[in-house]
Amino acid sequence: MIRFIGLLAIFSSAYAATLQDYTEQALCNNPSIGAQSKATQAACERSWATYGPFLPGVNFEGGGVHEDTKVYEDTYRYAFLEGRWNLYRGGGDWAHMRASERRFSLAKLELSRMRKALTQDVATAFYNLLYLKQAHNLYQKVIDGNDEYMEIAKRKWKSGLTTEVDVLEFDLQKDRYLIDQRYIDEQQFSHKENLAQLISCATCPEDIDVEGSFPEEHTVDLCQAKEQALSCRDDYLQSCLHTAIAKDEACIARSDLLPSIDLIATWGTEPHRRNDRGNGGKVMLNFSVPLFHGGQRWRHWRSAKAHERQSCCTYRDDKNRLITEVATIVNRLDVIARQLHSEQKRKTTLTDYLSMTREEYSRGTKNSPDLAGAAERLLNSSLRVISLRRDYALALADLATATGSYFAG
């Protein structure tokens, strides 16, 4: 309760929140998660209902009868209790129970899958916003630096060491930076709207802000990731259950071709017992053997067996697709990590190059295009670094989904 009140306080006004805050808010308020939770409860009740056929059923029947035939005319009342207990139904009841329990498991897996997918969607929106926020701040830093270079150019112009062209050079550069910064701000608003929709919170998109950092790169074990995916991936486990349910459906269809045995007991006055109006009871063992139903039940069983074979093929295809997907994501993480390492080294070199170019421009050995070009190259490299960090974070979120785990950032 305290945690929920804290979340409300965070989202009631403009305040920078972490990925964990937004994820908890989304899982708490998202209507799709709530709807699937209710569907899971319904599947649980249906699962318990399948235990009923294994217990005897008791009915009370009563009423009045008036008979008027050519032989006799009679009016009487009847009332009796009937108990019926199925002893054998071709294994259909057991198959119904197993299928229902597996459908309940399917519903729970679907809820888990939706929660993990929502976590990934929130992480995607969060890291896109974090990238745009850092890019905005980066542009602001470059604009401030450009203003400093412009002041140097103005002092040199007043001293007669250069012309007004240098001042115009930095002024044009600033205009371009401001245009790019405004474009980033427009993108931020779009991603804020998306995040506000995901967390299902009555908050203006302008009030949404993010704080945090991108996850550090680390080595991912491919074999371990594959094993985790095969044991924890919800849609893969659902595919396993669908295959098992198809087998249960085939058993249910086959049970319609087999005999059934019921134990029936009654006590009381039954209708059509005109000559015996007193209370009485009977116990009967009833056998029912299906002989011919126009081939309908046979065709249903054949159809169920074909569906079972189809489910097995789908299961194997899902397994191969899952392994390929995990391998692709792990390879992408490795490529991004290597690119990030190279770009960080380049950024360090460009930082030193900009510092030296600024000093040489102040002394007059470098001109304004050199300094503006050095600043722009450093900006592009810095943007590339945070872009790769964002891509690495999103790839980690994809890997969490592929391996069936919650993404924690």
Instruction: Check residue 366 and give its pLDDT.
Output: 84
Name the phi and psi angles at 62, rounded to 5.
-160, 165
For strands 73-88 and 260-269, give the pairing. Answer: antiparallel
Rounded to an integer, the average pLDDT of 101-112 is: 93
Domain contains 234: yes
φ, ψ at 220 (rounded to 5°): -115, 125
Asked if residue 195 is part of any domain, the answer here is yes
> Locate tokens 């908890």: which residue?
24
The answer to whether residue 63 sits within a structural domain is no
Q: CB atoms < 10 A from the CB of 133, how many?
A: 19
DSSP SS3 for 91: coil
Indicate whether 345 belongs to any domain: yes
- Paired tokens of 369: 């295009």
Token digits of residue 72: 């006799």
CA dist., res. 109 & res. 234, Å (int): 6
- Residue 338: pLDDT band (50, 70, 90) is very high
Asked if residue 78 belongs to a domain, the reply is no
Q: Residue 365: is its pLDDT beyond 50?
A: yes
Total number of domains in the chain? 1
Residue 2 predicted with pLDDT over 60: no
pLDDT more than 90, % of the chain: 40
201/209 Cα distance (integer angstroms): 14
Q: What is the pLDDT of residues 264-293, one digit of tens each?
A: 888 877 766 555 555 677 888 888 888 888
Q: Is residue 14 part of a domain?
A: no
User: What pLDDT digit, counting tens, does each position of 28-80 carry?
Assistant: 988 888 899 999 999 999 989 888 888 888 888 888 777 777 777 777 787 88
Residues 121-180: tens digit of each pLDDT: 999 999 999 999 999 999 999 999 999 988 888 888 888 777 788 888 888 999 999 999
Instruction: Name the least confident of 175-179, 215-219, 345-349.
Output: 215-219
The per-residue pLDDT for 349 is: 96
Residue with tokens 């993480």: 333
323 found inside a domain: yes
On average, the pLDDT of the chain sits at 86
CATH code of the domain covering residue 141? 1.20.1600.10
- Listed in sequence order, the residues at least 6 apart from 204 whose beta carbon sits closer than 8 Å to its beta carbon are 196
What is d(CA 37, CA 115) in angstroms, rounded to the nearest whole number? 10
Cβ neighbours of residue 301 closer than 8 Å, sequence gap 6 or more: 250, 253, 254, 256, 257
What's the pLDDT band for 329 if we cut at 50, 70, 90? Answer: very high
Residue 390's domain comprises 34-54+91-257+315-402
Q: Is residue 286 part of a domain?
A: no
Cα dihedral 215, 218, 223, 227, rounded to 10, equals: -30
Please give the Cα distance from 121 to 113 (Å, whole number).
Answer: 12
